[in-house]
Amino acid sequence: MITKTLKNFSIRQIDRSGQCFRMEELEEGRYGVTAADRYVEVCQDGEVCTFSCSDREFDAFWRQYFDLDTDYGNFLSQIDPEDAYLSGAARRGSGIRILRQDLWEMIVTFLISQQNNIVRIRRCVRNICERYGERKYTPEGISYYAFPSPRALADASEEELRACNLGYRSKYVLRTAQSIVREEVSLSAVSAMPYQEARTELLKLYGIGGKVADCICLFALHQLEAFPVDTHIRQALENHYPDGFPHERYGAVQGVMQQYIFYQELFPEEES
């Protein structure tokens, strides 16, 4: 158990921002987070956060994962004060972090996410983790499932994946897993590439188009110049930027702005 005081950090906003589909609210203000092959519980009260892990585990993994060494105040201060829409969106989502998630996990997760809804995406990811992932235990004895390896998914059948509720995305996941196992695309090579190169490489995988590739670049590779355009973002840009979104202005950090906009569109009203 360790406690940290964190600015511009909201576990609730991160959960609802839809980057991670393996986070769940256990009770009011308490979240269980599974990432790669690890699990932690996070409690938050204002700026005070408690993580249910050791100091060593925190420094070895979660500090990075939650991007805690980045000053998000710096991103917020770059926003054009004349831009009322973006300023408002950023104020509302100011606790969002761009997580540094596992590359393979993001590839599969965002393959599943296409033309799909959040509830079902979560269920699909849970299903494949329980079916193909290794069962693990925290030091306290809480059980959870690691994300399945490329090998494990490559050895599955399309029918089995459909049974996990993936629908037509089953063959995307299967063929992509096989491509990775055969090293037609190298995960470690992609990890080391700059944005444009990584994006081009990811597009070689079956079922990955521009939007999904950008999500992977942003949420796994932390390439903040990636700006995934989905139906919500497209709509928001049409409504609020008739002359086009100022991509040049936010260039290297526009992925962060994308998240503020996405959050604003998904949660326009303050609830409870």
Q: Could you list the residues that contact DNA (CB under 7 A)?
A: 17-19, 113-121, 162, 165, 167-169, 172, 206-213, 215, 228, 230-233, 258-259, 262, 266
SS3 call for 41: strand
Least distance to DNA, CB of residue 269, Å? 15
Burial string for 130-146 (b: 16+ CB within 10 Å, else e) reads ebbbeeeeeeeeeebbb
Nearer to DNA, 47 or 184 (CB): 184
Least distance to DNA, CB of residue 3, Å? 28
Element (H, E) at 216: helix 210-219
Nearer to DNA, 136 or 222 (CB): 222
Least distance to DNA, CB of residue 62, Å? 20
Nearer to DNA, 137 or 206 (CB): 206
Least distance to DNA, CB of residue 231, Å? 4
The residues near 242 (Cβ < 8 Å, ≥ 6 apart) are none
Least distance to DNA, CB of residue 176, Å? 9
Nearer to DNA, 17 or 34 (CB): 17
SS3 call for 3: strand
Tokens of 45: 């009260």
Nearer to DNA, 24 or 230 (CB): 230
The residues near 77 (Cβ < 8 Å, ≥ 6 apart) are none
Beta strands in 85-164 (DSSP E): 135-137, 143-145
